[in-house]
Amino acid sequence: MKKSISALAFSLLSSVAMADPAVGQWVTIDDEDGSQASVVDININEEGKLQGTIVKLLREKDQGKSCEKCPDDFKNQPVEGLTFMWGLEKEGEGEWESGRILDPKSGSIYKSQLEVAEDGQSLSVRGYIGVSWIGRSQKWLRYEAPIAETAAEAVSADNSAETAEATPAETAAETAAAE
């Protein structure tokens, strides 16, 4: 009985995660120079709260950086792989608030909220102190893997599938050779 309740709860959380337009990968835009800075993976954790992890730094000058100015457990952690946004609670479809966001450049932690645009292709992320009108917003864009990246993944998947699946003739030949 306990297992079926846990499975049901997990199933419900999974369906919520799949249905919310905030879930997925997003490109962050530097609000100082307008360049694409990183790719962030946003997902819903086991507690039903939204979190974001930096999965790729896009500017060569940022690659390999650590969170030098960050507090506590974040200090000196690699920026790639860093869960820098957490605890956001769902307010509506594509709307999340009451979370926290870490600025890896300054090491500051702010309250946060986010909202997906109607077309689902951009995300408004706001970090603030105290009340939401004292802060700054960034617009993030939905990430689409470059064609070369997706093509390489497809070729890699095809090659691993070919090596993993031996034909009946190959299996028979290997068996005969072993005898």
Residue pLDDT, tens place only, 53-111: 999 999 999 999 999 999 999 999 999 999 999 999 999 999 999 999 999 999 999 99
Give every CB contact of residue 123 below 8 A, 6+ residues apart in sequence: 22, 26, 114, 115, 116, 117, 139, 140, 141, 142
Instruction: List the domain boundaries for the chain.
Output: 20-144
**Residue 126: helix, strand or coil by DSSP?**
strand
pLDDT digits (tens, 9 = 90+) for 102-158: 999 999 999 999 999 999 999 999 999 988 888 999 999 999 988 766 555 655 555
Task: Judge whether 122 and 142 are in contact, CB under 8 Å.
Answer: yes
Which pair of tokens denotes residue 72?
A: 């506590």
Task: Judge whether 98 and 89 are in contact, CB under 8 Å.
Answer: yes
What pLDDT is stored for residue 14 in this prediction? 43
What pLDDT is stored for residue 173 in this prediction? 45
Class of domain 20-144: mainly beta
**Strand locations in 21-107 (E):** 24-29, 36-44, 50-57, 83-92, 95-102
Which pair of tokens denotes residue 139?
A: 């617009």
Give every CB contact of residue 146 below 8 A, 6+ residues apart in sequence: none
Give every CB contact of residue 31 below 8 A, 6+ residues apart in sequence: 136, 138
For residue 61, count other CB atoms closer than 10 A to its CB: 7
pLDDT digits (tens, 9 = 90+) for 153-176: 655 555 554 444 444 444 444 444
Which pair of tokens denotes residue 18?
A: 């799949």
Task: Judge whether 147 and 165 are in contact, CB under 8 Å.
Answer: no
The four Cα atoms 22, 93, 115, 143 give a dihedral, to 10 degrees, of: 20
Q: Is the pTM of this model over 0.85?
A: no
User: Any idea how long the chain is?
Assistant: 179
